[in-house]
Amino acid sequence: MIDHVSVGVRSLPRSARFYEAALGALGFEKLVTRPRTIGFGKRYPEFWINLRPQMTSVTPDLGGHVCLRASSKQAVDDFHRAALAGGGSDDGPPGPREHEDPARLYYAAFVRDPDGNGVEAVCFVEASGPGLSGA
């Protein structure tokens, strides 16, 4: 079980704006602010950004990837829209993706934060259930 995840960022104010927008669409709030780190979460800080001013920008073929669970397709869409408006870049628009379980639809969106860190939002929808229009 993972307790929390941290990513490095070059500018805490710039990244805070991005993550407040993107994570806010998934129900996260800024819960802890310290001089070199900010923690976001729903009940406790489970996603941290840590100031690393000497860090170089992460290219798409390097760095990590963080995937966060969304409550619905609408939340995935909202995450993507908010992330782009907050200074992120598109790394894969909202939509269905291939998944090993044919009974469940993997619906996700992929973005890069202002430093190039990869962030994804995903929800799973029953493939035979309602809500698949526009998937």
* Residue 23 included in any domain: yes
Q: Answer yes or no: are the C-beta atoms of 7 and 113 closer than 8 Å.
A: yes
**Domain CATH code at residue 122:** 3.10.180.10
Question: Residue 135's pLDDT is what?
Answer: 39
Q: What tokens appear for 16 in the block?
A: 């805070």
Q: 3-class DSSP state for residue 14?
A: helix
Which residues, including other chains, have CB under 8 Å from residue 13's CB and lie 6 or more apart? none
Domain that holds residue 107: 5-53+63-126
Domain count, the chain: 1
* Residue 35 included in any domain: yes
Which of the pair, 45 or 64, is modelled with greater confidence? 45
Which residues, including other chains, have CB under 8 Å from residue 104's CB and lie 6 or more apart? 124, 125, 126, 127
Q: What is the pLDDT of residues 90-123, one digit of tens each?
A: 999 999 988 777 778 899 999 999 999 999 999 9
* Residue 10 included in any domain: yes
* Residue 133 included in any domain: no
Instruction: Report the DSSP pairing between strands 37-41 and 65-69.
Output: unpaired
* Residue 131 included in any domain: no
Q: What is the pLDDT of residues 4-41, one digit of tens each?
A: 999 999 999 999 999 999 999 999 999 999 999 999 99
* Residue 88 included in any domain: yes
